[in-house]
Structures are given as structure tokens and as C-alpha cells.
Structure 1
Amino acid sequence: MIELKQLRYLLAAADAGSFSRAARLLNIKQATLSRQIGHIEKRLGMHLFDRSLRGAKLTEHGEFYIRSVERLVTEFDELNSWVRATCCGTTGHLTVGFHTSFSAGNLRATVTEFGDKHPDVKMRGVERERKRLLGGLENRTLDLAVMAGEIFYAGLRARPFWSERILVALPEQHDLAVRERITWPDLAGEHFLLAAHETGPENAQILYGKLANSGVRPTIDVEEICRDSLLSVVSLGKHISIVTETAVGFHYPGIIFREIHENGGQVWLGFSGYWHEENDNPVLKRFLDFVEARYSLPPVNGCPRSRGFTRDAQT
């Protein structure tokens, strides 16, 4: 049987035009090279080289044979490169579901930077409501879901990714628009409009919790509209809303954004990544490592497990 290593010796000798020169390039003895090429010729039953004091020249049969060898070795090397890249996650597919805006902010920046660093990875983004994201993780049509808040769901692992500031969106004619900082008590008695998608449900929970002690239960309308439509309605002056800082990246006519403060600091909403515990996609592991490094997070490996859900420590 002719081995791949012997074929590489054959290619080196053909390129060098000399057994001695090829042996030096391969850092082996000339006798070893000659013996291996002789083994190939014996197995084939033909001479591949005309040997002389001036070197070694391919015979007619050798010219024909070497073309096939070049193609075979090249394809083998390409196959090995593909296997290594696939196993280490530098090529392949990654499907990311999200329940937040992709128009700006950390999600867009993270996915864009990862794609720039790994151009051979085909990434697909899917925007869905929370229940459908969880279903996609379970049936493995999604590799990863990025959602706000904490979710406990059997069979999933998770880790915190990043946090974004919570802002209040006000019509520019609103009395609070003149303030640079707004606190939760300032929002008591207001009429809120939230989107059913993105972070609307989480924001509703925050509002009920933060305004519970004001003595006035907040009025909250949750509509099936996108953020652009929501802010267009807010600009009419009958509602206000709360959004994450991704909204600040765009200009919305008639809208003023203000930070919400409590205890002397800004208010933040945490986002986490969720994936199925049996998902062995190497690209997913590489993406999680990338997020870990980008946001200086603790490593994913070695996380404790609870109720089928794994939660890393928040930094």
C-alpha cells in the first residue's frame, strides 16, 4: 500500500528536480527519500523518475502520475483543514434567535464583530416571541436565544451576556422632558404604552414592581406593534414608554429619551443567552467564548446546574 507520506516525498522530489535537494527540504536523509520513492515505483511497476548525476527528472508515466498525486494530496489537505475548522467552530452555521431589537446595541455589535472575525461562519438571525424562541431551542432549530430577564426552562443552559440602560421615552412636550434625570416616583400616574415584542413584557414587570409603592397603579397598554410604531404613537402626546438604550441610536421625531435613576445610579436591564444543554455545535461554543472575552465574563464551563437550567454568576 502506498502511504500519503510517500506521496508527499514524491511531490517534493518532483518539485526539487533532485533527490538530495528534496531530502534537505524535508529534513530527512537522501537514502530515506530514495527508498520511499523506490517503494512507490515497485508497487506501481513503472519508473517515475529518470535518475542521473544532474538530478531526477519525471518520466512520461511520472508526469501523468504526479498530476493525480497533486490533486489527491491537495484534496486531502483541504478536507483536513475543513474538519479542523468545523471542529473548532471557525466554519459552520449558527442560528441566533432574539427577543430584542437588532437595529442597534450590544446584540448587533456582538454578532457583527463575530461575523467579521469568522467570515466562514454562516449566521442567521431570527426574531420571535419568547415562547417560540424556547421552542426553537428545544427542537434545535435555534442554537442560541438572546432574551431579557431570567427564564427557567427544563433542558436549557444560560449565562448573562450584557446589560442595557432603561430609558423613558417622552413626547417632547411632556412636563418631564425638561429634566435630565428621572426617578421612578416621577412616573407615577403616567399612561404607558409598551410593545408586546422585544422587552415589553419585562418592562411591564419592572413598572409594576417599581411603582407599586406609589399608591397609584400604573396604566399600561401592551400592543402588538414594533418599536418604531410605538414611539410614533408616543410622540402624539397621550402615552410615555420605557425602552432600552438601543433606541437612542436612531432619531425619532417628537421623542425625548431620559435616563431613569434610582439610589443614585442608572437602571439596567440584563440580557442572557440560552441554549440547549445537548447542543454540541462547535460554532456555538466559539460564539460563547467570544462573548465571554468581549464582555469580560466568567467562563461558561463548570457552571452549577439547577432545575435543568444553568446560570453563571453575574459580574
Structure 2
Amino acid sequence: MIPRNGDMVDLSSALHIRHIRYVVAAAELGSFRRAAIHLNVPESAISRRISDLEAWLGTKIFIRSAAGVRLTFAGEKFVLRCRYLLTEIRHAQSEIQAVRQGMWGMLTIGVISSLASSTLSALLRDFAERHPKIHTTYVEATAEAHLFQAGGLTLDVAFVSEGRLPHEVSSQCLWHERLFAVLPEAHPRAKDSNINIGALADETFLLNDSARGRSTSQYLHRRLGALGCRPNIRYQDVDQESLPLLVALGHGITLAFEPATIARMPGVALRPIAEPRLIHAIWSEENDNPALPLFLKLAKSVQE
């Protein structure tokens, strides 16, 4: 139904993009005929649709004459908005195309240990160099939280250590990560070339209640539990960097995944654990983020 003059109308159900293109082409070319040729449509279609649009708006957009058409004052205001709308649509099309092709986008990555892990940091750096317009954000949490988040699509991909992985997510083991025992310098095993985790079963492990601390706790319970032992863990209300200082004071030992900074600390010794930690990538097959297959392809190449 055509509204009465002066009525305010919601044009969203009646206005199509092609109508906007008709108006802009006619305004720029000064003629319905030239606009029809430019758009490769019948002149009658342009004239009819613009007349319908003027009826819906309740005002004239064009002044018609034998020489062609020119915009009314209201038409100039309307065409200004139409040009802006067409520009935004073109931008949206370009962005969607770029996202679909993996040229632009966002990727949320879950980690359970420091990004200083050499393999992980190399992977992230390589991905950033290959896809500079895909922006990455990082979330540090426990493996259980990452499993939930990946299944719920709030994470695109996460890296977790070995353990029971549910069927709701896809996973692939990608690499082994070395662990290091952080011992007091006077510890009986401070001179060993490497240490079996079972040899530390009677030790007191110092951890904090962070994502890394809880991940380390899970590792100890799995590995020592398989040997019939229960780890003695004391949680400390300190940050990760302070744990080696407590080790140096003789309060216990801890485990580390990034030995570079700890190696320079006085009073402690670093010795590799013989059993490495297995690192898996997890993701949901329902995740349609176009950046995800690009990242997974690169991540899987790490093990090749």
C-alpha cells in the first residue's frame, strides 16, 4: 500500500539494493535512459522503480525534463545517504571475501603454559608472518576450561597436555614439550643428566593456583598416579616467577616449562625430566572460522 503524503514509512521491506543503484546511477548520469544503459536494464524498469520509491517516500527525488533528470533538494539528501550505503555494502563484500579466503580475520587461541615455549612461540610467529591481517588473541586456562570453550566455540583452537580428550572436540598430538625439575643446588639429584618423574615421588612440589599450576598438578597426578603414587603438592600464593625462589630457600621443588629465565637464578639447579609432556591441539569441527583451517594446517606441519 502506498502511504499518504507526509506519513513516515519503514522502507526496509520495500527497498532493494537495486533501487538504490537505480537512483544513484540516474543522479550521476542525469538521465534514466543513460542509467538504464549503464546498468543494462530496461529504462522502463528504472523509471517505474524510482516512481514507486518516490511514492513510498512521499516526495519527489528527481525533476524530470526533456533534457533528462536532476535531483530535488530532498533527492540530494537521499542520494548522499544512498552513496554511503552502497560504499558500506562494497566494504562489507570485500571484508567477507577477505575473511573467507583467510586474508583477514580473528583467531582465539588457548594455552596452558607460557607462550615462551619454543615450539609454540615459533608456530605463532610463523602464522603471524604468513597471515599478518589475522589478529590473534590468547587465553590461558586449564585444559578442562579449554575443552569446554573449544566445544562451545568461544575458543578457536587450544593447546593442552596429554589426558583424556572427549569426543565432542577434535584433537591431534603435535609435539613433545620438555619439562624441567627445579631443584635446590644441594639436592641429591641436582647433578643428574635427567630425572625420571618417579624418582621425585617423595618430593614436595610447590605450585601456585594459576592455569599453569593446575595444569602441572594434573600432569603430576597422571604420571605419578600411574606409578601408584600420590604427589605431595603445596600451593603457594605467589606468582610463577617466585616459585624458584622458594625452591632456593629449601621449601620444596617445582616443575618448569621455560627454563631460560630460571637458569640464571642463584641457588637452583635445572634438570630435564625424562618423560616429556605431549601437546595436543583441540578444536571443534563445528567451528566455521575460515582462519582455523589455515592455522591447523601450519600447526600440523610442526610434527612433519
What percentage of aligned pairs have identical amino acids? 22
Deviation at 1:268, TM superposition (A): 3.1
Indicate the residue corresponding to 1:14 in structure 2: 27
- Label 1:198 to 1:152 Cα distance change in 2 as closer, same or farther (>3 A): closer
Q: Secondary structure at the match of 1:223?
A: strand
Q: Secondary structure at the match of 2:277?
A: strand
Indicate the residue corresponding to 2:278 in structure 1: 270
Indicate the residue corresponding to 2:215 in structure 1: 198
Indicate whether 1:127 and 2:135 are aligned. no
Partners of 1:231 and 1:252 within 8 A in 2:
no
Indicate the residue corresponding to 1:308 in structure 2: none
Distance 1:151 1:18 in 2: 70
Deviation at 1:234, TM superposition (A): 1.8
Partners of 1:49 and 1:62 within 8 A in 2:
no
Deviation at 1:37, TM superposition (A): 3.5
**Which residue identity lines up with residue 272 of structure 1 in the other structure?**
H
Deviation at 1:290, TM superposition (A): 0.9
Indicate whether 1:282 and 2:294 are aligned. no
Partners of 2:244 and 2:262 within 8 A in 1:
no
- Label 1:240 to 1:18 Cα distance change in 2 as closer, same or farther (>3 A): same
Which of the numbers 128, 131, 134 marks the counterpart of 1:118? 134
Partners of 1:191 and 1:238 within 8 A in 2:
no
Distance 1:79 1:198 in 2: 42
Which of the numbers 249, 260, 270 marks the counterpart of 1:257? 270
Give the 5 Å matches for 1:134-153.
134=147, 145-153=158-166
Deviation at 1:148, TM superposition (A): 0.7
Give the 5 Å matches for 1:172-187.
172-174=185-187, 177=190, 181-182=193-194, 184=196
Give the 5 Å matches for 1:290-305.
290-296=295-301
Q: Secondary structure at the match of 1:296?
A: helix
| Between 12-21 and 70-79, the greater mean CA deviation after superposition | 12-21
**Which residue identity lines up with residue 48 of structure 1 in the other structure?**
F
Deviation at 1:149, TM superposition (A): 0.5
Count of residue pairs brought into register by the alignment: 273
Distance 1:186 1:147 in 2: 22
Partners of 1:194 and 1:241 within 8 A in 2:
yes
Indicate whether 1:232 and 2:232 are aligned. no
- Label 1:163 to 1:73 Cα distance change in 2 as closer, same or farther (>3 A): same
Distance 2:186 2:166 in 1: 43
Distance 1:185 1:65 in 2: 74
Deviation at 1:3, TM superposition (A): 4.0
- Label 1:69 to 1:250 Cα distance change in 2 as closer, same or farther (>3 A): farther
Partners of 1:191 and 1:219 within 8 A in 2:
no
- Label 1:174 to 1:13 Cα distance change in 2 as closer, same or farther (>3 A): farther
**Which residue identity lines up with residue 118 of structure 1 in the other structure?**
I
Which of the numbers 17, 37, 49 marks the counterpart of 1:40? 49
Q: Secondary structure at the match of 2:179?
A: strand
Distance 1:177 1:73 in 2: 70
Deviation at 1:281, TM superposition (A): 3.9
TM-score, length of structure 2 as denominator length: 0.62
Deviation at 1:81, TM superposition (A): 6.3
Partners of 1:182 and 1:258 within 8 A in 2:
yes
Please, which runs of 5 or more residues in structure 2 have no aligned partner? Answer: 1-13, 208-212
Partners of 1:162 and 1:295 within 8 A in 2:
no
> What is the CA RMSD across the aligned residues, in angstroms?
4.8
- Superposed CA deviations along residues 248-277 of structure 1, whole A, max 9, x for unmatched, are 35666223434456xxxxx53222233456
Give the 5 Å matches for 1:52-71.
57-71=70-84
Partners of 1:192 and 1:218 within 8 A in 2:
no
Distance 1:58 1:250 in 2: 74
Partners of 1:12 and 1:22 within 8 A in 2:
yes
